[in-house]
Structure 1
Amino acid sequence: MILICTVLLAFWCASWAAAADADPAARAQQAEGLIAQLASPVYVERQGAAIELEALGLPAVEPLLASAESPDPEVAAASRRLLDRLAPRWARWDDSPSVRQVMSEYAQQSEQGRLAAVAALAAMPAGESASALVRIARFDTSPDVSETAGLLLIEQVAIAEEAALRAVLPAVIERVNRLAGPSQRASGRWCELLAAQVESPEDAIAPWREAVAGQSQRMAAQDPGRGSPGAGVLRWNLLRLELDADAPRDAVLETAEALVGSTEDQKEGYLERVLGWSGKAERWGVVQALVERHKDTLTSKRSRYLLADLAMLQGQQEQAQRLADEAYDTPATDRDARLNEDSPEIDGGVVVAQWLETRGRPEWAQREYYAATGDDAALNLSSVCAASWLADSLHDNGQEAESAEVIAALLSRIDATPESSRTYGQLADRWRVIPKVNTLRATEAFFRGLAAQAEGDAKQARDFYEQSWGFDPTNADVLIAMHRAAGDEDAQRDRVIDRIERLARSMQLMIEEDPLDPTPYNQWAWLVANTEGDYGKALRYSQRSLQLSPGNAGYLDTLGRCYFAVGDVQQAVDAQRLAVDKMPHLQVMRRQLEEFEQKLAEQHTPTK
């Protein structure tokens, strides 16, 4: 017994010394040889191999994951025991509080619990949970869990185009590989390819084609009749790469047709996505070929508008307008309505109009909105949303008087009878997307104030702003407009400043009640940066909101204004460009960017 212990101690000392000297890839290769010794009939050899494997650390995890499925029960059991001891530290010190909360109990969760954790991580702002998802993709013992984490990362990069994730992913992969070596596991390899494609999309195309083929073969071997949803996600990423890298037309079409042909229920939706991506990449040969092949499928209102949009992007204005007219005359379908996952009860035409706004086609969107808000329209979820979104669209384009008239017409319908007033109240109570009546009244007065100010009537503008504030004293934009229109009267300006300070104190209380809610930080920063107060604190609060909600376009818009307030115009321009990149269709963001860029140009213009 003493001899055995002495031998094992020697194994332990030698193995730790060797592990300290070897790089991760060499340790992984060494692990494969040691695993074979787990089947040795000699006890000392088995235990010695186990000790050496444990000393190898994370590089031994992937070889042990494979041997845990060994037909030899001794090897499989020993591998599972070692995996329990080699489990990584799932929660890291540099994770955000939200990520640490999810990962703190990860090791104790069942497979279903870990899948739920993966879903929670994927729902966080892109980039925040990247490190945790990569850890899971590399080291979770369940193939389903690890592949789900890898596939969700691919969806964020390829389908959602999350720039924040692309920015951090190479560093995350480099850190993991420094500790564990390159991955031989499918899900780990996907993560490495994602990082590689950020640096060189062209070089990543061939490896991704191999990954698609490999995943399809694995899924077919497991269940020949199941198909390969995982291969579909990989194929979407491949298509994105081929388009961005200007791959040959036939190669792109082959990938596109494989995606479109993989589903019957979602065929039109897949076609729309492929066409949208191809149009953005200006691959007009691909667009033309797909439209010609699948014109009988592209029949919904949204599909027809997409064809009109693609024609406009090619400079074919007459054809684009003709196609848009055809789309307008096309009845909306249930599929059009389902595009709004939060409120599928909204009419499909209204939902398509909202989508048109994101495509930068407000004139087409407004026509759909007007159709849903006509005099004969019932007072329901769809007509109210159409009116509210139409007013927002007109306001974004600087048409303040028209915006006010849309809200006034809606209020007239609400106030027509006690029954209509009750109906609206019930709608507002049920649907968060519908504003309260007083909010509508405040919005109408605010838009009328903006219209008066644009006409140069400062007094009438101030009167309307007062009306708006009376209906809703929590609207920061109204106080900002009041501050800009206050004039030279000290009493008037003092009254506005007092209101600003009171609202700021209210927002401060909200921050203290829930320090992890980014909204009040952003609201405080926006209010102060656009009026007066502690601009440095506004900048810190804006930065905090983005720490809690990375990449939020609205918060980036606020950050730009905060930098401008403290006099850092270059940083203001940089932040505002990021905001515009995320929501290029919003004219209000573009106008703020123009303001900042003009100021920056003035600073760089030599004085005479």
Structure 2
Amino acid sequence: MKFKGFAMALAAGLVLPVSFPGHLYSADPLSRSSDGGTDASQIDTRVQDLIRLLADPSYSKRQNARAELERIGVVALDRLHAASFDADPQIASSARFIVRSNQFNWAWEYDSPKVREILGNFGAAEVYEKSVFIDELARLERDEGLAALCRLARYETVGALAKKAAIHVLKSKPLVGQSPIGRSQKILRYIEGGTSDSSLWIQTFHSSIASEKSATTSETVFDVDWWVRQIENERALIGKNTQETSVDVTVELIKWVTQQLSVRPNTREQALTIAAKLLEPSLNQSLHRQAQLGQQSAAANSFAQWALQLQLPELVHRQHQLLPMRIIAREPIFTYYLAESYLQLGDQEKAERIALAAWNGKQLERSPLDWKGDAIDVSTGEKEQAGNSGLDAVFAYRNRSAKENSYVLGKTLADRGRFEWAERELKQAAGDDLTLDSSLMALFKLAEIQQSLGKHNEAKLTLEPFVLRLEKEPMFRRQMVEQSQLLTFIVTSYHQYSGDAARVENNVGEAARQYILSLDASEENVDALIGLYKLETGPELQAKRRERLRSIVTRMKDGIRKYDQFLRDGAGNDYFQTFSLQLANELNSLAWLIANTEGDFGEAILMSRRACSLNPEHAEYLDTLAHCYFAAGKWKDAVEQQQKALSLKPNHPDFQRALARFQAKLAEAESPPSK
């Protein structure tokens, strides 16, 4: 294929050709002309000629040369960067000015409109703002931003930005059904000719995948020593106050190398050694500062979760030895992480004793042994009475009640799939005083966990005492109506869970009655209407649920239009972000409803994709998008999006069940027909 010119990322996506005698430039590295069209060597020759013109005595020729170099775009960057050190001071000065001017066209003709928009923003942004747009490219679906990321890794002159793009390329994975070898070969063509560290990272890794040995044995060579040298180079650069790297880039490189080693045979010890570098002060400078402020260390939290995800529990032991005791006392979650590490080591008894210590608020005696050995000495007793745990002062310091702390812990443990520990914390948080919002939040979350585990009757029974009290005690009901915003959510959920329990028992009449009561309490609970659609019912109920669906869909679309109008009228005001998140929630709810009932599945996909664009890291929104694709019969897309949702919440039972269902359907669709 021969392209007719470069895409201009700016000026609303206009495509403007670059003048060149007899030909037009093609920026596509996958296209090499064999019929007289412009090829890479012709462009390179033209770039060199233009650079020499930067020192021409004629002012107009110098200006025209500069303008054409900027139009040619990023493919001229290598030559311009070299020219920055030219012996002719005028050429060197002009080349440096062009490189620093940020006037390059990063978009190429084959880029999608969305990629062009992001690259246009990237080119116009200040250096400290650019990383946001690299992350946007990485979040695009189906490798839409892959070529642009390779381009940034290949041509960007700020090393930290180029390496950030490279790491996104390294972390990206083949699409469902895509050949890893073919994909790596394409990436290598995108990065061809690059000599920067970021280019070499990509070339080294993907060359091993695209090699002949990989094609015949499905094995890839991973040169551990070479990658260790790359890590050490980045660590050495950190203290030099340079734009060639950053702490974030170095941390992500270490994590990626560790992940590669953790899944390969016979390299686990090397993975542990490399990952332990993340616990060194140069890469964890914020830890003590955050501790002094009385805040949980986000870096320490992230490290523990990452280590457990890679099945490297020894790293959690080492971290527990290094963390200041004041952090461990204030943040019991780190003790729970330690308990989880012993689960991975197969020591169920010790894991449970440590979890009980966390629940009791007890500090553990830390062992001075080597960090790959035993980390703690555990002794726990029965649950102490409130006020005797020694944590009251700590919790007061954090300005949060003990119940609120238990609630937060319960949510976190549930997200990690430690449901037994989560239920224990949430039951403590709920307590007996149901007039407190913190107690109701814990009660609601506990029932939600039970529901997600398929324990519909348990979820119903968890909420039942509160709902029955509302029905039987008018004074209590008036008090709760006035002070609690959770009342409606609890009532509608109670009836939905009751309906689910009845449906599982094949009690269709009771299930229908409970679902209708749930919708009467709040039509925002679309799961109740979805439950109605799962029932095998007669024509009368089918007509009622279809009418209810039309009514709810109409109301939700009206709400979406209003939020759209708010955003158009209030761009830049204080409520813009709030309206954006509310719009995303409405779009997601409507898409989820249609995907699980009836309607235009194509429209549902568009709404869901928009919700994801407004809130990209929301696992539930990605789950909805997967269900929309599944409803539309797009099995591969459904599997890909469900895998993304699970990557954010890997222990979510509903997500796990959905992925298994989608993968089974994809396998069935791809299997040859039986004779």
The TM-score, its normalising length taken from structure 1, stands at: 0.71
1:259 to 278, 282, 290: 278
| One of 299, 302, 321 as aligned partner of 2:352 | 321
1:271 deviates by 6.2
CA distance in 1, matches of 2:476, 2:588: 38
- Alignment partner of 1:499 is 2:548: yes
Partner residue, 1:391: 447
Structure 1 residues 476 and 337 mapped into 2: Cα distance closer, same or farther (>3 Å)? Answer: farther
Contact 1:556 1:578 in 2 (8 A): yes
CA distance in 2, matches of 1:492, 1:69: 79
Is 1:464 the equivalent of 2:548?
A: no
Q: Does 1:478 align with 2:491?
A: no
Work out which of the residue numbers 350, 353, 369 in structure 1 matches 2:407.
350
TM alignment of 1:135-174, pairs within 5 A: 135-140=151-156, 143=158, 147-148=160-161, 150-151=163-164, 154=167
Q: How far apart are 1:541 and its partner, in Å?
A: 2.9
| C-alpha distance in structure 2 between counterparts of 1:572 and 1:16, whole Å | 41
The amino acid across from 1:394 in the alignment is Q
**Pairs within 5 Å for 1:534-549:** 534=599, 537-538=600-601, 541-542=604-605, 545-546=608-609, 549=612
Q: CA deviation at 1:393?
A: 0.4
Q: Counterparts of 2:196 and 2:448 in 1: how far apart (Å)? A: 49
CA distance in 2 between partners of 1:568 and 1:155 (Å):
26
User: What is the CA–CA distance in structure 1 between the aligned matches of 2:547 and 2:242, rounded to whole Å?
Assistant: 69
Q: Does the 8 Å CA contact 1:202/1:241 hold for their aligned counterparts?
A: no
Q: Does 1:424 align with 2:443?
A: no
Aligned equivalent of 2:259, options 237, 240, 264: 240
What is the RMSD computed on CA atoms of the aligned residues? 5.6
Contact kept? 1:577, 1:593, Cα under 8 Å:
yes
Distance 1:443 1:469, change over 3 A: same
Q: Could you list the per-position Cα deviations for residues 47-100 of structure 1 after superposition, in whole angstroms to 9, with x for gaps in the alignment? A: 799699949864430342354477975233220455489954334566566554
Equivalent-residue separation in structure 1 for 2:150 and 2:507 (angstroms): 58
User: 1:477: Cα distance to partner?
Assistant: 1.3
* Aligned twin of 2:537: 487
- Rate the CA distance shift 1:86–1:324 in 2: closer, same or farther, 3 A: closer
The one of 304, 316, 321 equivalent to 2:335 is: 304
Q: Provide closer, same or farther for how the CA distance between residues 369 and 197 of structure 1 changes in structure 2, counting only shifts above 3 A.
A: farther
Residues 579 and 40 of structure 1, relative CA distance in 2, 3 Å threshold = closer
1:366 to 423, 434, 437: 423
Q: Does 1:214 align with 2:230?
A: no
Alignment correspondent of 2:76: 60
TM-score computed with the length of structure 2 as normaliser: 0.65
AA paired with 1:239?
T
Q: Please report how far the alpha carbon of residue 195 of structure 1 lies from its aligned counterpart in structure 2 after TM superposition.
A: 5.5
Tell me the distance in 2 between the aligned counterparts of 1:67 and 1:415.
82
For residues 311-339 of structure 1, the C-alpha deviation after alignment (integer angstroms, 9 at most, x for no partner) is 22333222222222122222689999999
**Compared with structure 1, are the counterparts of its residues 137 and 169 closer, same or farther at alpha carbon in structure 2 (3 Å cutoff)?**
farther
Residues 629 and 635, structure 2, Cα contact 8 Å, conserved in 1: yes
In the TM superposition, 1:41-60 aligns within 5 A as: 54=69, 58-60=74-76
Matches of 2:77 and 2:394 in 1, distance apart?
Answer: 46
Matched, 1:587 2:587: no
* Contact 1:220–1:228, Cα closer than 8 Å, also in 2: no
Aligned residue for 2:492? Answer: 442
Shift, 1:396, TM fit: 0.7
How far off is 1:362 after superposition?
A: 0.9
CA distance in 1 between counterparts of 2:64 and 2:665 reads: 69
Does residue 203 (structure 1) correspond to residue 222 (structure 2)? The answer is yes
Instruction: Give the superposition deviation at 1:463.
Output: 2.3
Distance 1:481 1:248 in 2: 49
Instruction: Name the CA shift for 1:257/1:148 in 2 (closer, same or farther; >3 Å).
Output: same
SS in 1 for 2:484: helix
CA contact (8 A) 1:106 1:114 kept: yes
Pair 258,528 (structure 1): closer, same or farther in 2 beyond 3 Å: closer
- Corresponding residue for residue 194 of structure 2: 183
Corresponding letter in the other structure for 1:588 = D
Aligned residue pairs, count: 569
Q: Deviations over 1:408-448 (max 9, x none)?
A: 556669973866654434xxxxxxxxx5x323321122122
Q: Aligned partners of 2:640 and 2:67: how far apart in 1?
A: 52
**1:124-181 deviations in whole A, cap 9, x for unaligned?**
779565555554454455x2xx6246326637966xx88879x899999977875774
CA distance in 2: counterparts of 1:156 and 1:65, whole angstroms:
24
- 1:85-96 alignment, distance < 5 Å: 88-91=104-107
Aligned pair in 2 of structure 1 residues 594, 135: CA closer, same or farther (>3 Å)? closer
How far apart are the structure 2 equivalents of 1:230 and 1:606? 48
Which letter maps to 2:454?
A: G
- 1:517-528 equivalent positions in 2, closer than 5 A: 523-528=589-594
Tell whether the 8 Å contact from 2:316 to 2:338 is kept in structure 1 after alignment.
Answer: no
Alpha carbons 1:58, 1:179 under 8 Å: kept: no
C-alpha displacement of 1:549: 3.3
- Relative distance call for 1:469 and 1:13 in structure 2 (3 A) is closer
User: Identity, % of aligned pairs?
Assistant: 21
Give the direction of change, closer, same or farther, for the CA distance of 1:352–1:56 in structure 2 (3 Å limit): same
Structure 2 unaligned spans of 5+: 1-19, 26-32, 211-218, 289-296, 363-390, 566-579
Question: How far is 1:345 from its partner?
Answer: 12
Hey, what does 1:76 align to over in structure 2? 92
Greater relative contact order (Cα < 8 A, sep 6+): 1
Deviation at 1:588, TM superposition (A): 2.7
1:194-232 deviation digits (Å, cap 9, x = unpaired): 7668778743644433332333333444479x9955433
Inter-partner Cα distance in structure 2 for 1:109 and 1:88: 12
**Partners of 1:14 and 1:568 in 2: CA distance:** 46
Q: Which has the larger displacement, 261-270 or 236-245?
A: 261-270
Q: Give the distance between the partners of 2:269 and 2:408, measured in 1 at CA.
A: 34
Is the Cα contact below 8 Å between 2:205 and 2:222 reproduced in 1? no
The alpha carbon displacement at 1:519 in A equals: 5.8
| Distance apart, 1:364 and its partner CA | 0.8
Separation in 2 of the partners of 1:605 and 1:33?
58
